[in-house]
Amino acid sequence: MTNFSVVKGNIVNMKVDAIVNAANTSLLGGDGVDGAIHRAAGAELLSCCRRIGGCKTGDAVITPGFKLDAKYIIHTVGPVWNNGLTNEAELLRQCYIKSLDLAVEYNCKTVAFPSISTGAYRFPLAKAAEIAINTILEYLEQDTCLEEVSMVCFDFNTKAAYDKVMRALGRLEDEE
Ligand code: ADP
């Protein structure tokens, strides 16, 4: 059984086998969590991403973690919210699935996710939290090498939205 938890923190400091980056299609860095990961991992990450050449929305690629504690960085490209008109929910689901597929392929035991698409890409937070948690939990029903998957929320609002979904699923006591 894989443990799943929602925590508050900065994903660059996570001591896990793989952290997931909410990247953009160029893979060349950006604002938000992407910028924080590139700064912390160092310039070698940018060269490595440049060699990969890009990533489609809803897909994921893997690189070493370079200067991070994490061994790997899984870069996934979330959908930009477009009022639900361009398959955003399914693309977001695919981000979590493809990232977990790569983590399993690389034999990771511990993986940390940020809240994909809910920053600059404006995916409505409550809906994104529901998709993220349900997709991860459904994936973890399979028997894999994964031991611990965490959702790392950078701010209070994000943590509250993910906690709300966990509470609705009976996975979180009331006053935590
Ligand atoms: P996107 O472009 O996919 O929306 P953002 O980086 O703009 O990605 O935002 C996604 C989420 O990541 C937001 O909840 C944002 O607060 C959060 N975030 C920003 N920096 C960090 C960090 N260092 N660790 C974890 N989450 C972060």
pLDDT at 174: 65
Find where tokens 């399993």 sit: 104
- Say yes or no to pLDDT of 175 above 60: no
- Domain hosting 145: range is 3-168
Q: Is 103 inside any structural domain?
A: yes
Instruction: Report the largest interatomic distance among the alpha carbons of the chain, rounded to a whole angstrom.
Output: 47
| Verdict on whether the full-model pTM lies above 0.85 | yes
- Give the residue whose CA is nearest to atom 6 of ligand 1: 32
Cα of 155 vs centre of ligand 1, distance in Å, is 9
Give the CATH number, domain containing residue 135: 3.40.220.10
Those residues with Cβ within 8 angstroms of residue 138's Cβ, 6 or more apart along the chain or in another chain: none
Query: What single letter denotes the amino acid at residue 46?
Result: L
**Looking at the 3D structure of the chain, how many domains does it have?**
1
pLDDT at 80: 98
Q: For residues 176 and 174, what is the distance between their CA atoms, to the nearest angstrom?
A: 6
Nearest to 79 by CA among 118, 33, 52, 111: 118
pLDDT tens digits, residue range 27-62? Answer: 999 999 999 999 999 999 999 999 999 999 999 999
Q: Is 70 inside any structural domain?
A: yes
Q: Is 175 inside any structural domain?
A: no
- Say yes or no to pLDDT of 11 above 90: yes
- Give the residue whose CA is nearest to atom 19 of ligand 1: 33
Q: Is 110 inside any structural domain?
A: yes
Q: Is 174 inside any structural domain?
A: no
Nearest atom in ligand 1 to 36's CA: 23
Q: For residues 2 and 149, what is the distance between their CA atoms, to the nearest angstrom?
A: 7
